[in-house]
Structure 1
Amino acid sequence: MITPLLRGTTALVCLSLAVPAAAQDTGDPGFLGTLIFTAGKRDLTFGTALARTVVDEEEIQDRQASTVAQLIDSVPGVTLVNGTTPQGSGINIRGFGANTTFGTDQKIAVQIDGASVGSEELYRIGTQLFTDPLLYREVEVLRGTIGSFAYGSGIVGGVVKLETRDASDFTGGVPGFGGAQTLEYSSNGDGWVSSTNLAWMPTESAEFLLNYSLRDQDDLTAGDGETIGNSAFRTPSYLAKGTFTFGENDDHSLSVSHSRTVADDKDVPYDQFATDGGTFGNVDRLTDTAQTVLEYRYDPASDLIDLRANLSYADQVIEYDYIPGSSPLEGTPGFPRLVGTVNADQRYETTKLTVSNLALFDTGAVSHDMLAGAEAQHRVRADNTDAGAPGGTNDRFALFLIDEMTMNAVTLTPALRYESSRIESENDLPGVSDEYAKDALMGGLALAYDFGNGLSVFGSAAYTEGLPIVDDLGTSATAQDRIDTSEKSRTLELGAEYTGIDVFTQGDTFSVRGNAYETALWDITSYTVSGSTTTTLERVESRGLELEASYGMDSGVYVDLAGHLGEGTEFNPDGSDAVWRNSPADRVQMTLGRKWEDALDLSWEMVHAADRFDAMGEDLADVTVHNLRSTWSPAKGLLDDTEIRFGIENALDADYVGHLSSPSRKAPGRTFKVSLTATF
């Protein structure tokens, strides 16, 4: 039954802007025919039932974020968990993803140029989205299940897609050399960044890009002046990418990209969520993450063929060495087991091939945008039993079909995914099988109606299953139950939007989009009853309302708004219930700004969060944070082709702990940031 929170959502109106900034992106699987409208800093997507937010290259640079997680926590329903370092930060969407114990619960998917990353359940480590924001031209967040069927199974929170930069971004798409150099400094933690892009297009059919970024930060300071322990890091990153087009009318293209980020941390806490060594003590830790992607595209002059084959390989290595004397348990009977845990190295390798085709065709009065594809994935995890991470392989095969059917004002989009999985243990586990198999059929249906006057309404229903993973291997009765069970969930969504020009005054643009969702999760294997390590929850239900809006005037004044209201409940087998421990906070973010054409952009961002609690479930006070930003792009003189950015984050030096974060890990206090980007 749909809750009152979902009812009446179609009364929401969305008004939008003057000129479409972009049309459909044919590289986005399914839900095509999208228009993107811009009034303020952020593009808003219309014409689809999909809850989709895009953070583009300009906003990536404006936000001056240290991690990708910091970059997207402005999206409605997204929570940044423990997020001041690349290793410790986690991404939670609609109450799923990173939690207070693991960096992921398998209910969000993260992809870099199509490569699947950050998907291991590592104890007290973040999502492993270990990379630098300046390597990317775009970060796309798909919320909920309905848009996930081209990317994986068991996705409840959503999908985070990162797209690396191209050489043509710097050469203007014409042969020659180009590039950019960015230098950035932040006062809190005495942090600095250098990012260098070198681009070369020898011909219109070939382009090459090299990026090297180095980010360095000391321990941060909270609003009360206290040092935030375990918040320093130094991460060199690089990206190498090449693209070739060939054939008649450049029908064929081939691109290859390789990105890598490394951190060599000395004498740091093993527990990335904590601010000191605690029980586990300190370690020397080397974290090395790399992704390699080869993509072939065949796009002839035919509506029936737009073929893509994406082959990716993701590799993450984490090496630990315990620092003697750093744990209070040293010398006790349980110490040898602890040392085995913190000295256990980890490695995760994922090889994936996805082949898909997008076809446009008509059947009578119905127009089809149909995406069909197949995916094969091979994941290998080195055995790390001492750290609670069993070794093994997971082979998966999937077929998916998404067909957007348009009939005048009605758009109906069915989506299907079939996936089979086979897990094989690396070790001989006594008394249990070494091989497990599972499969599932899942899908959804989205419906949208366009009234033709700017108003449209939409809704969707989706069902997915989370198949067992290598982490579920074990000899206990609990482990055996997990490895034989797939988690089930369904999500219902309703929403509306309206687009318009000259709404309040001549030349203004206004856009608003709202959608409500309700999710239920059962046959749970990921979460246990509070206080227990073996008894799983009976059911989890969550619901919320998301809102995005943008208003712009002809004078350059703009207002952006993003917000989320929600609640969740976890149900125990004994019939009792409690507040869902990973529920996102109620949050509203408003940005007031003005643009003077392309030369100057000044903005004031206010973020208010309520109904918050920390990782231990203790209530936190409401908090309001103010951020100031400016971007100056001189058009002449010595500073031509440069952009100068200045920002003040947490301008009033608020002292607070972030939602779902460890109680000891406070948010950073006032931080002044300045950056200079020169293009050539």
Structure 2
Amino acid sequence: MLTPLLRGTTALVCLSLAVPVAAQDADTSGFLGTLILTGGKRDLSFGTALSRTVVGEEEIQDRQASTVAQLIDSVPGVTLVNGTTPQGSGINIRGFGANTTFGSDQKIAVQIDGASVGSEELYRIGTQLFTDPLLYREVEVLRGTIGSFAYGSGIVGGVVKLETKDASDFTGGAPGVGGSQTFEYGSNGNGWVSSTNLAWMPTDRAEFLLNYSLRDQDDLTAGDGSTIGNSAFRTPSYLAKGKFTFGQDDAHSLMLSHSRTVADDKDVPYDQFDTSGGTFGNVDRLTETAQTVLEYRFNPASDLIDLRANLSYADQQIAYDYIPGSSPAEGTPSFPFLVNTVNADQRYETTKLTLTNRALLDTGAVSHDMLFGLEAQRRVRADNTDAGAPGGRNDRFALFVVDEMAMGQVTLTPALRYETSRIESENDLGTFPTSYESDALMGGLALAYDFGNGLSVFGSAAYTEGLPIIDDLGTSATAQRRIDMTEKSQTFELGAEYTGTGVFTADDNFTIRGNLYQTRLWDITSYTVAGSTSTELERVDSRGVELEASYGMASGVYVDIAGHLGDATEFNPDGSDTTWRNSPADRVQLTLGRKWTETLDLSWEIVHSADRRDALGDGLPDSTVHNLRATWKPEGQGWLDNTEVRFGVENILDTDYVGHLSSPTRKAPGRTLKVALTKTF
């Protein structure tokens, strides 16, 4: 199915690559050349070899998403698994990440201001990216392995980086007081949101921000009018952030941020993937997630020094109390086991220190943009053996370097990461060791060629290893096998970018990027053969094509396209094979719109998905969903100045469907009218 498309798409892909003309100051990936060209709804930010998509604050507000996962599922290759609730939904990139059993498989990394979150394999709980979209000014998605070496090991799907808002976003970077108040309402589930930002800059060297957001939603309704069970939630969130700049020429800065989200759910299913209590029954569940980050930066007037020290602490606690009489298994021999499972409280703490320095230097005809760093991380998990989560401690240390070498029209970027790991069990494992050590060397190479006329081509090869995790502790033969080996993967990418103005009409702009990827995963420890709990898959092969394009005219008319088409196979030890159970659907998203200066933006979004399956592997019919959005920013209207009004209708045709990789009982929401009012002061 994929081969004809690849043949037909290669010509398009090889005619598309943008010249990297502007450096992004905050980028630490090592691939530092970036083009940002505004055409339509989304700014296309392309690096020399990264499959990179940035969802900015404007789009965050326009989409009015309930979760970060729901916000970024518009990125090519990204799948939202299991709905739109904070605890139940998950993020899957190129077939890796959240799956139909756990919220994470360790093959994507999620960071909030540099803090690592969402990395625990919790059975039937979903993602641990438990936070509110309105706390963030930007969400960046890096797809694949080649851009991951500054963020972790074993990353196959990609990296999700979230950056919280700054006080200077509201004061214009000048001393003073500012802020904003946002109210949102969604007709489906009577959902509402209040988000308040208060910003203060007493001087141009100090800034402080407070945000409080409260999101509330009742159970949603599907396209056929049925109620989507277990879709209600109430989540208060807050963010406190401060930054100080000091020293000669303001070379030093210190930033401290703390964010927290809480949900106190009563009489809800333990199984967050399903819509009813099922075998496990219902629980009262208190979920608390917090991230604290302290970052120091030293950036003097020297090309050789741009030093950052990022110290972060992420803490998640989940407390359960079983609701008597809610499980149909009550009174059976297995019931005591179920009660122990659903009453088992969970806590996960991750402390991490990352030191990096970025240096610009020339060695003859070669210009270097080099990022060097080290990372020390400690992850501690309280024992929760009853729920299949053994307690222990995982200490890791890593060194990494990424060197972008420019030689005229050629850019060559090697990247290396060396990581060591030590796992210690909280429990006595009898005759088995209670501590295990492992290490790995991984890296990649990217090559880009700039033709100088708006066209560039690129390619990359990357290899990474996933070191054992705390979940691999145990006394069974399966556990011992898993903790003594590392998962390995390699990814190859080939693509092109093009950007230009006056391409089809005078004063228009056009940007397009296409890339092919192929990934192989072997020595697998995290996936078993279907129907088995102890026999791992032999390997997983996946391949696909991703396309992003934006076209804008002087009249304000714009067209945005984002799509993914792929094919993936899982291979069993006996030589048999089948479709990879977590592979993304074939998907294309088309947005047609028009902007009237900065005052009014109207758009129509069409999302078509094919080759879809539910969480049980059963095929689903193709789906097409239509969404309408309008953003109005009145100016010169007195009290309406600095006001933004947003309207939207999602799933306008009330299409009845189940999302790709979702539980067959968890349908997607039906028609939803959304309205938002933001006042900036």
With the shorter chain as reference, the TM-score category is over 0.9
**Counterparts of residues 335-414 of structure 1 (less than 5 Å):** 335-414=335-414
* Residue number in structure 2 paired with 1:320: 320
Partners of 1:20 and 1:59 in 2: CA distance:
23
* Residue number in structure 1 paired with 2:658: 657
Q: By how many angstroms is 1:43 displaced?
A: 1.3
Partners of 1:6 and 1:439 in 2: CA distance:
37
Letter in 1 for 2:42: R
* Cα-to-partner distance string for 1:208-234 (whole Å, 9 max, x where unaligned): 000000000000000000000000000
Partners of 1:213 and 1:300 in 2: CA distance:
37
* Residue number in structure 2 paired with 1:466: 466
Q: CA RMSD in A?
A: 1.4
1:181 touches 1:677 (CA, 8 Å); kept in 2? Answer: yes
Sort the Cα spacing of 1:434 and 1:206 in 2 relative to 1 into closer, same or farther, 3 A.
same
Instruction: Please state whether the residue corresponding to 2:58 is helix, strand or coil.
Output: helix
Partners of 2:20 and 2:171 in 1: CA distance:
24
* Residue number in structure 2 paired with 1:677: 678
**Counterparts of residues 447-486 of structure 1 (less than 5 Å):** 447-486=447-486
* Residue number in structure 1 paired with 2:207: 207
* Cα-to-partner distance string for 1:468-526 (whole Å, 9 max, x where unaligned): 00000011100110111100000000001111100110010011100010000000000
**Counterparts of residues 524-535 of structure 1 (less than 5 Å):** 524-535=524-535
* Cα-to-partner distance string for 1:247-297 (whole Å, 9 max, x where unaligned): 001000000000000000000000000000000000000000000000000
Letter in 2 for 1:38: T
Letter in 2 for 1:648: V
Letter in 2 for 1:678: K
In the alignment, is residue 256 of structure 1 matched against residue 246 of structure 2? Answer: no
1:29 touches 1:150 (CA, 8 Å); kept in 2? Answer: yes
Q: By how many angstroms is 1:84 displaced?
A: 1.3
1:16 touches 1:509 (CA, 8 Å); kept in 2? Answer: no
1:10 touches 1:495 (CA, 8 Å); kept in 2? Answer: no
* Cα-to-partner distance string for 1:423-455 (whole Å, 9 max, x where unaligned): 000000122110000000000000000111111
Partners of 2:630 and 2:3 in 1: CA distance:
42
Partners of 1:643 and 1:629 in 2: CA distance:
13
Partners of 2:397 and 2:17 in 1: CA distance:
41
Q: Which runs of 4+ in 1 moved over 6 A?
A: 2-8
Q: By how many angstroms is 1:16 displaced?
A: 8.7
Partners of 2:21 and 2:221 in 1: CA distance:
40
* Residue number in structure 2 paired with 1:487: 487
* Residue number in structure 2 paired with 1:190: 190
Partners of 2:455 and 2:33 in 1: CA distance:
16
Letter in 1 for 2:171: T
In the alignment, is residue 645 of structure 1 matched against residue 646 of structure 2? Answer: yes
Q: TM-score scaled to structure 1, two decimals? A: 0.98
In the alignment, is residue 158 of structure 1 matched against residue 158 of structure 2? Answer: yes
Letter in 2 for 1:652: L
Partners of 2:110 and 2:33 in 1: CA distance:
24
Q: By how many angstroms is 1:390 displaced?
A: 0.1
1:500 touches 1:511 (CA, 8 Å); kept in 2? Answer: yes
Letter in 2 for 1:167: A
**Counterparts of residues 127-146 of structure 1 (less than 5 Å):** 127-146=127-146
1:522 touches 1:538 (CA, 8 Å); kept in 2? Answer: yes
Q: By how many angstroms is 1:23 displaced?
A: 4.0
Letter in 2 for 1:203: T
2:449 touches 2:457 (CA, 8 Å); kept in 1? Answer: yes
2:464 touches 2:488 (CA, 8 Å); kept in 1? Answer: yes
Q: By how many angstroms is 1:47 displaced?
A: 4.5
Instruction: Please state whether the residue corresponding to 1:478 is helix, strand or coil.
Output: helix
* Residue number in structure 2 paired with 1:113: 113
1:92 touches 1:98 (CA, 8 Å); kept in 2? Answer: yes
Instruction: Please state whether the residue corresponding to 1:584 is helix, strand or coil.
Output: coil
Q: By how many angstroms is 1:4 displaced?
A: 8.1
Unpaired runs of 5+ residues, structure 2, are none
Q: By how many angstroms is 1:83 displaced?
A: 2.4
In the alignment, is residue 230 of structure 1 matched against residue 230 of structure 2? Answer: yes
* Residue number in structure 1 paired with 2:668: 667
1:69 touches 1:83 (CA, 8 Å); kept in 2? Answer: no
**Counterparts of residues 278-293 of structure 1 (less than 5 Å):** 278-293=278-293
Sort the Cα spacing of 1:20 and 1:360 in 2 relative to 1 into closer, same or farther, 3 A.
closer
Partners of 1:568 and 1:263 in 2: CA distance:
37
Q: By how many angstroms is 1:45 displaced?
A: 2.2
Q: By how many angstroms is 1:21 displaced?
A: 10
Instruction: Please state whether the residue corresponding to 1:395 is helix, strand or coil.
Output: strand
1:167 touches 1:207 (CA, 8 Å); kept in 2? Answer: yes
Instruction: Please state whether the residue corresponding to 1:34 is helix, strand or coil.
Output: strand
Q: By how many angstroms is 1:619 displaced?
A: 0.3
* Cα-to-partner distance string for 1:77-107 (whole Å, 9 max, x where unaligned): 0000012100010000000000000000000
* Residue number in structure 2 paired with 1:61: 61
* Cα-to-partner distance string for 1:298-329 (whole Å, 9 max, x where unaligned): 00000000000000000000000000000001
Q: By how many angstroms is 1:657 displaced?
A: 0.2
* Residue number in structure 1 paired with 2:580: 580
Instruction: Please state whether the residue corresponding to 1:69 is helix, strand or coil.
Output: helix
Partners of 1:473 and 1:131 in 2: CA distance:
29
**Counterparts of residues 3-22 of structure 1 (less than 5 Å):** 9=10, 11-12=12-13
Q: By how many angstroms is 1:595 displaced?
A: 0.3
1:13 touches 1:498 (CA, 8 Å); kept in 2? Answer: no
* Cα-to-partner distance string for 1:182-223 (whole Å, 9 max, x where unaligned): 000000000000000000000000000000000000000000
Sort the Cα spacing of 1:16 and 1:519 in 2 relative to 1 into closer, same or farther, 3 A.
closer
1:15 touches 1:500 (CA, 8 Å); kept in 2? Answer: no
Partners of 1:571 and 1:290 in 2: CA distance:
39
Letter in 1 for 2:650: E
Partners of 1:229 and 1:3 in 2: CA distance:
40
In the alignment, is residue 168 of structure 1 matched against residue 168 of structure 2? Answer: yes
Letter in 1 for 2:557: V
Instruction: Please state whether the residue corresponding to 2:276 is helix, strand or coil.
Output: coil
Partners of 1:321 and 1:294 in 2: CA distance:
35
* Residue number in structure 2 paired with 1:75: 75
Instruction: Please state whether the residue corresponding to 2:639 is helix, strand or coil.
Output: helix
* Residue number in structure 2 paired with 1:418: 418
Q: By how many angstroms is 1:20 displaced?
A: 9.6
* Residue number in structure 1 paired with 2:611: 611
Identity among equivalent pairs (%): 82
Letter in 2 for 1:452: G
* Residue number in structure 1 paired with 2:548: 548
Q: By how many angstroms is 1:125 displaced?
A: 1.1
Partners of 1:371 and 1:638 in 2: CA distance:
48
1:519 touches 1:541 (CA, 8 Å); kept in 2? Answer: yes
Q: By how many angstroms is 1:10 displaced?
A: 6.3
Partners of 1:224 and 1:529 in 2: CA distance:
35
2:234 touches 2:263 (CA, 8 Å); kept in 1? Answer: yes
1:22 touches 1:37 (CA, 8 Å); kept in 2? Answer: no
2:17 touches 2:455 (CA, 8 Å); kept in 1? Answer: no
Q: By how many angstroms is 1:126 displaced?
A: 1.2
Partners of 1:511 and 1:13 in 2: CA distance:
13
* Residue number in structure 1 paired with 2:635: 635
* Cα-to-partner distance string for 1:356-387 (whole Å, 9 max, x where unaligned): 00000000000000000000000000000000
Q: By how many angstroms is 1:28 displaced?
A: 3.0
2:500 touches 2:510 (CA, 8 Å); kept in 1? Answer: yes
Q: TM-score scaled to structure 2, two decimals? A: 0.98
In the alignment, is residue 438 of structure 1 matched against residue 438 of structure 2? Answer: yes
Letter in 2 for 1:507: D
Q: By how many angstroms is 1:29 displaced?
A: 2.5
Partners of 1:296 and 1:27 in 2: CA distance:
15
2:380 touches 2:393 (CA, 8 Å); kept in 1? Answer: yes
**Counterparts of residues 15-30 of structure 1 (less than 5 Å):** 23-30=23-30
Q: By how many angstroms is 1:24 displaced?
A: 2.7
Bigger mean CA offset, 7-16 vs 558-567: 7-16
In the alignment, is residue 180 of structure 1 matched against residue 180 of structure 2? Answer: yes
Bigger mean CA offset, 634-643 vs 383-392: 634-643
Partners of 1:278 and 1:108 in 2: CA distance:
30
